[in-house]
Amino acid sequence: MKKILISLIVVATLMMTACEEKILYLFPTFTNYVQFGIDQTTSDIYELDTLTREAINDSIGEIKANGLIEVIDIEGFYLNFHVYDDNEAQFVEVDAYLQDTLGNNLAVFENYSLDITALVEGQNYPLYDYLRDDGVLELRSVINTLANDMDVYDRVVVFITGTTEPAGVRTHMDIDMHFRINAKVKP
């Protein structure tokens, strides 16, 4: 009798826990990027681009259509390069900065250097070892703010600085900085 009673209690408990309502989440991702075109004969690089509110909002809007956004995180950063035939530079070192709402420049990544002659067209070059918390956290904050109030920011200013070698030769390339974003959405 004791065994039957214990068995009934176990079965009843299992049935009750199986009937609980489960909350499911979606985890959509999207990628945005800024592009820097370099065509110069000085070895110093300074290029600026803006990430528009519309570009971010288009991606966020698609996610919002699927439910309520609970949090947005930056999943990763990478660079793509397109080197033109008339490029003569052999090495590049770049840093990327994000300008916050107060006009402060916050580093997204620093001291990324590579051999231009060894670049593979279309390959993603990850930035994991070069990322800096200030810039990455600011970008995450901006995107989370835009998810809740799309009228707060009109644009995000991103710029790169750096040098190319050898000095005095033509540098002609495009550098695309991509960032992948992951959202937690409650449908």
Q: Which domain holds residue 168?
A: 24-186
Report if residue 134 sits inside a domain: yes
pTM score: 0.78
The answer to whether the peptide bond before residue 166 is cis (omega within 30 degrees of 0) is yes
Report if residue 182 sits inside a domain: yes
Contacts of 145 (CB under 8 A, 6+ apart): 152, 153
Contacts of 128 (CB under 8 A, 6+ apart): 76, 77
Per-residue confidence (pLDDT) for residue 22, from 0 to 100: 64
Q: What is the CATH number of the domain that holds 148?
A: 2.60.120
H or E segment to which residue 187 belongs: none
> How many helices and strands, by DSSP H and E, does the chain display?
3, 8
Report if residue 3 sits inside a domain: no
Report if residue 9 sits inside a domain: no
- Structural domain total, the chain: 1
The pLDDT confidence band at residue 102, using thresholds 50, 70 and 90, is: confident
Contacts of 158 (CB under 8 A, 6+ apart): 34, 48, 49, 50, 51, 96, 97, 98, 99, 108, 177
Report if residue 136 sits inside a domain: yes
Report if residue 170 sits inside a domain: yes
Q: Please say if the pLDDT value at position 186 is more than 80.
A: no
